[in-house]
Amino acid sequence: MAGQAQLPRRIVKETQRLLSEPAPGISASPSEENLRYFNVMILGPQASPYEGGLYKLELFLPEDYPMAAPKVRFLTKIYHPNIDKLGRICLDILKDKWSPALQIRTVLLSIQALLSAPNPDDPLAENVAKHWKENEVEAVQTAKEWTRLYAQHP
Amino acid sequence: MAGATVVVPRNFRLLEELEKGEKGIGDGTVSYGMDENDDMLMRNWTGTIIGPSNTVHDGRIYTLKIFCDISYPDKAPQVKFCSRVNMSCVASNGVVDPRHFHLLGHWNRSYTLETVLVELRKEMASPQNRKLPQPPEGTMF
């Protein structure tokens, strides 16, 4: 495959492991034309407002990975205080808490965990966070509604 | 060249451009942003150019629509002036004609929305455009 020769060994190893031993509820596979660009699926965690939803994400390993964090974005609409309307994710390990010791797998597990534990005190989507703080029951209801509307299996 | 092997996919490239645009570019003579903040495909953008001094465009604020299709940035975006302007590379409906605007006609993946706007602004100051009679300021296509 084109580009394979230049792909750093670390990325090759991570990719092999992601494919051979996927984490529960998570799948990630590189696209054929760009081995640094992954199609990701995450199942909404049980006992979260996203349960029953299937979320599509995209992940890209920039040139300076693993010195720089992967770039990740939701492609499926989701009602969550730490995910904005463009699917951008507010997660410390994607920003200042990134360490080269982390991997694609750890990033995806952290995103899955973020779905179980929304953090309205560190919001990216201000309106959603406000809703969450003022009326959590109602906000969770909206999140469930969005799961039903936008995150159903094809 | 380092960029030769690592290709930034469309969406992440546009997210980078969006963030750059939000911070503001250079001296502010060009700017751009996304039309709808929930458009996951990030296709529709609006740019502005402040006309260069010592030309007929001096101080005018031009608004443009930029359409980044799924093929962007491998292919050039489509660019159309909303503000009326008389330029050699702009058709009578405001569309920037790639045949007469080298940057769009000979597109390169390293070009950005910023490059498009900066080059259009330079084009306004080119010998064939700097003195062309202009429609009244503020009129739209």
Q: Please check whether residue B134 is in contact with residue B122, taking contact to mean a CB–CB distance below 8 angstroms.
A: no
Task: Render the burial of A77-109: b for 16+ CB within 10 Å, e for the rest.
Answer: bbbbbbbbbbbbbbbeebeeebeeebbbbebbb
Across the interface, whether the CB atoms of B37 and A85 are under 8 A apart is answered yes
What's the pLDDT score for residue A29? 97
Q: Which of A1, A34, A60 to mutate to test the interface with B (most CBs of B within 10 A)?
A: A60
Across the interface, whether the CB atoms of B5 and A6 are under 8 A apart is answered yes
DSSP character for B2? G
From the CA atom positions of chain B, what is the Rg in Å? 15
Tens of pLDDT, residue by residue over B92-139, are 999 999 999 999 999 999 999 999 999 999 999 999 999 999 999 999
Query: ipTM score of the complex?
Result: 0.90
Q: Mention every residue, 6+ apart, whose C-beta is less than 8 A from residue A117.
A: none
Beta-bridge partner residues of B65: B46, B80
Q: Taking Cα atoms as reference points, which of B116, B135, B140, B141 lies closest to residue B56? A: B135
Residue A2 pLDDT greater than 70, yes or no: no
Q: Which of B9, B15, B18 comes nearest A37 by C-beta?
A: B9
CA dist A35 and A81 (Å) reads 31
CA dist B30 and B117 (Å) reads 6
Tens of pLDDT, residue by residue over A27-39, are 999 999 999 999 9
Within 8 A of A88 by CB-CB distance, chain B residues are: 15
Task: Render the burial of B72-105: b for 16+ CB within 10 Å, e for the rest.
Answer: bbeebbebebebbbebebbeeebebebeebebbe
Tens of pLDDT, residue by residue over A57-95, are 999 999 999 999 999 999 999 999 999 999 999 999 999
Q: Taking Cα atoms as reference points, which of B108, B117, B102 lies closest to residue B3? A: B108
The residue whose two tokens read 């670390």 is: A10
Tens of pLDDT, residue by residue over B28-63, are 999 999 999 889 999 999 999 999 999 999 999 999
A83: left (phi over 0), alpha (psi -120 to 50) or beta: beta
List % helix, strand, coil for chain B (3-state, nearest 5). Answer: 25, 20, 55
CA distance B8 to chain A (A): 7
Boundaries of every domain in chain A: 9-150
Across the interface, whether the CB atoms of B42 and A87 are under 8 A apart is answered no
First to last CA, chain B: 42
Within 8 A of A63 by CB-CB distance, chain B residues are: 2-3, 6
CA dist A132 and A134 (Å) reads 6
DSSP character for A59? E
Name the B residues in 31-90 with CB < 8 Å from any A CB: 37-40, 42
Q: Mention every residue, 6+ apart, whose C-beta is less than 8 A from residue B87.
A: B123, B124, B129, B132
Across the interface, whether the CB atoms of A62 and B6 are under 8 A apart is answered yes
Name the A residues in 120-149 with CB < 8 Å from any B CB: none
CATH number of A9-150: 3.10.110.10
Q: Which of B5, B34, B44 to mutate to test the interface with A (most CBs of A within 10 A)?
A: B5
- Which contacts of B86-90 are long-range, i.e. CB under 8 A and separated by 24 or more positions? B86/B132, B86/B133, B86/B134, B86/B135, B87/B123, B87/B124, B87/B129, B87/B132, B88/B123, B88/B128, B88/B129, B88/B132, B89/B123
Across the interface, whether the CB atoms of B12 and A58 are under 8 A apart is answered yes
B78-81 β-sheet, strand order: B30-34, B44-50, B61-67, B78-81
pTM for the model stands at 0.91
Q: Please check whether residue A118 is in contact with residue A80, taking contact to mean a CB–CB distance below 8 angstroms.
A: yes
Across the interface, whether the CB atoms of B42 and A86 are under 8 A apart is answered yes
